[in-house]
Amino acid sequence: MAGGKETPRQKMIGMMYLVLTALLALNVSTTVIDKFVFLNDSLVRANLETAERNQAIIENIVKTVDDSGNREDDVKVADAAKKLHDETNRVMEELTNLKVQMVEVTGGYLEGNKGEYPGDAKHLEGKTDYDKVGNYMMPVEEGGEGHGEELKELLNGYAEMVKSTLKTIGADEKELAHFMPIALDADEDPVYNQDPNQKGKVFSDLAFHSSPTPAALATVSEFQSRVLGYETRALDYAKGRVGAGDLKFDVIVPMVKPESKYVAAGAKYSAKMFIAASSSGVTPTMTYNDKELEVDASGQGLVEFTASAKTYDKEGLSRQTYKAAITVNTGGRDTTFTDEIEYFVVKPVIQIQSQSVNALYLNCGNKLDVQVPALGTSYNPSFTASNGVALKGSDKGQVTVVPTSLKEVTLNVSSSGNFIGSRSFGVRRIPQPSIKAFTDQGEVNMKSGISAKSPRLYLRAIPDESFQQFLPDDAKFRVAQAEITLVSGGIGRTTIQAGERVNLAGIASQARKGDALVIELKLIQRQNFRKQVETFPVVTRFLTIPLN
């Protein structure tokens, strides 16, 4: 809302004003009008508090200038602050008179009741009147009395006055940008310029059209809040300019500069301790490599960038430097202090942990734990892979790599978008599962066979033991389709189709001792770590079980 530094109460009241204005646009009940009475009262009290604080700032500026010997530059600042304060008081008085006029044109106060202050929104004769204030403020060409245009000129003229006054004491464009015009037409206001319902409306229409008297009074009180907010920010700037030619070290803090924040157990920790001092009356300009830094209220700037290097020595270090510069205005001229800061970039070492780290399995979810200890807590990894897919895990550094061909897979590791390094892996085929037959009594002895009258048979694809240990979620095989033929004297007698479970009832009646079951494996399937089922090529295609 206001351009200056608002108190929490002012921010709360500003938000309430926006909400109630929105509700008013919906033509809600008179309850909302009563809320504007409360809002106006709160705004008036908040504005009185702000005015008192601004008066205290003025007195502090004048006293500081006097204590410093009334130097020419400081007196100029004090004069500018007093001029600004006088103009603020004038504008505030005109806005208060406008509220008085709004009360009068809507019938004044109810008999026996007077306002506590000029423009009080309580006990109004025209509390629910939606037209008179609007007519009073509307442009003449729209049939109104044109006072809205006078208000616009007053508010925007004040904003221009603040900017021109601050220019005389050295304010730059960045500071002046905070003092934009207060009263805007719809096409100029970023809140309304995209709203087709408000297109073409002038300031007075936006602010006062169809507004009940308490809402209009609250609107003017809110404009007063903005004026006081502009004054607060301007006076704060002026206060900071008093003694700007002096470098007074009045902010003193202890500093500790360790050789390293990281120390191994058993090693010595070493640090230099000293006092650092700065001046609260001076806002320095700080740069590194000619890039300007943001300076906080304590006069400190943060140098922060992503370290990088192209070459490293045999110990994995790369010496780098940057130019640090701090410029302060002393005695009316800029003085710059510079230094070349040395630092070393440590070559990051990628550490990968996995049960199968030298080679990865084709079309399987090979889980890797990729860490770069040199990056510490700043490690924020992301991964890509050539000849494969890299799926980031839930924990920092975890990644699942899925090779999509037998070509070498290269895993690329980055941190916060900065490339760290790569690691290459060979790719293995998935080991063949063993196809074994079982009865209810257990695994079939392929030499001795089974009884010719056995009622059922089970076919199972058993994964390679090492593969199952490394990747249990990818080691799930099943016999999906098989063809079982009863062979007698070298001639096939009967053939049935089956899957993992084989019902031998149709064969048992024909089977005799000395016959054999010849099993042809038609389809083997594997379920991968994503629970997707795929066809798996099996080398072993036939099993022969003798019958006894």
* pLDDT given for residue 28 in this prediction: 47
Query: Average pLDDT, stretch 285-292?
Result: 90
In this model, does residue 525 exceed pLDDT 90?
Answer: yes
Q: What is the pLDDT of residue 382?
A: 93
pLDDT at 379: 86
Cβ contact 276:252 at 8 Å: yes
Q: Is the pLDDT of residue 350 over 80?
A: no
Q: How far apart are CA 40 and CA 218, in angstroms?
A: 4
Q: Once rounded to an integer, what is the mean pLDDT over residues 40-61?
A: 92
Q: Would you say residue 29 has pLDDT above 80? A: no
Tell me what percent of the residues of the chain surpass a pLDDT of 70.
88
242 CB-side CA count, 13 A: 25
CA distance 382 to 402: 15
Tracing tokens 């007077």 back to the chain, one arrives at 114
Q: How far is residue 390's CA from residue 528's CA, in Å, rounded to a whole number?
A: 16
Read off the pLDDT of each residue in 75-97 and give the average, rounded to a whole number.
95
Residue range 453-471, pLDDT digits in tens: 889 999 999 999 999 999 9
Distance, CA of 59 to chain centre: 42
- pLDDT interval class at 307 (50, 70, 90): confident
How does pLDDT run across 111-124, given as a tens digit for each residue? 878 778 888 888 88
Domains delineated in the chain: 8-241 (no CATH), 251-336 (no CATH), 351-428 (2.60.40.60), 434-546 (no CATH)
Q: CA–CA separation, 55 vs 177, rounded Å?
A: 24
Does residue 238 have a pLDDT over 90? yes
- Burial code (b: 16+ CB inside 10 Å, e: under 16) for 417-429 equals eeebeebebebbe
Residue 254 has a pLDDT of 80
Tell me the C-alpha distance between 68 and 397, whole Å.
60
Average pLDDT over residues 127-134: 88
- What's the rounded mean pLDDT across residues 157-180? 95
Look at residue 129 and tell me whether its pLDDT is greater than 80. Answer: yes
For the segment 395-443, what is each residue's pLDDT rounded down to a tens digit? 999 999 999 999 999 999 998 888 888 999 999 999 999 999 999 999 9
Cα(73)–Cα(329) distance, integer angstroms = 13
Environment class of 283 (CB within 10 Å of its CB; exposed 0-12, middle 13-18, buried 19+): middle
Q: If we measure between CA atoms, which residue out of 542, 504, 494, 545 comes closest to residue 521? A: 542
pLDDT of residue 2: 41
Residue 460 CA to residue 300 CA, distance in Å, equals: 71
What was the pLDDT predicted at 3?
Answer: 45
Torsion of CA 498, 503, 506, 508, to 10 degrees: 130
Comparing 260-269, 396-405, 426-435, 514-523, the range with the smallest average pLDDT is: 260-269
Residue 103 · residue 115 · CB < 8 Å: yes
Mean pLDDT of the region 167-186:
93
pLDDT at position 356 is 55
**Per-residue buried b or exposed e for 216-241, using 16+ beta carbons within 10 Å of the residue's own CB:** bbbbbbbbbbbbbbbbbbbbebbbeb
